[in-house]
A = this chain, B = another copy of it.
Amino acid sequence: MTDNEVVSTWRELSARHAAIVSDLERELHERHGLGVSEFEVLDRLVDGLCLSSDGKFRVQELAAGVPLSQSALSRLIARLEKAGLVLRSMCADDRRGVFVTLTDAGRIRHSEALPTQRRVLRDHLAATSAG
């Protein structure tokens, strides 16, 4: 792969990402009052519900799935809690840790927003193979 190919691959990737994020941000915000990262976190929590017994997640577990710094994630969770979409609770076995759990409102909000996200992603990605 030549440098020019690498660069044009990068530009394409970058432009695509920007376009999708921009659309997602607008749609999710307008229709559901959520930012892209907020939705992603809710999404991880919902995904994880199937796997985890109690639906509790350490903040750091969520960090793995979302490309945000630890501080950004901490504040994001604070925002979600303030909005009533998640709860933070102490965790018994390591009292430094914080468990994050979805509230009913959070589950509902996520299920409302999910079709919107899917639609936007489909619009951008459905008929393409990354080229």
Contact = CB atoms under 8 A, between A and B. Distances in A.
A13 B124 CA distance: 12
Nearest to A69: B22
* Secondary structure call for the A interface: helix
A9 B120 CA distance: 13
Number of copies of this chain in the oligomer? 2
A67 B121 contact: no
Contacts of A130: 9, 13, 129-131
Given A1-B126, A17-B14, A7 B118 contact: yes
A122 interface: yes
Given A9-B125, A13-B130, A3 B67 contact: no
A125 B20 contact: no
Interface size class, chain A:
20 to 34
Nearest to A65: B11
Contacts of A3: 118, 122
Contacts of A126: 1, 6
Interface of A: 1, 3, 6-7, 9-10, 13-20, 22, 67, 118, 121-122, 125-127, 129-131
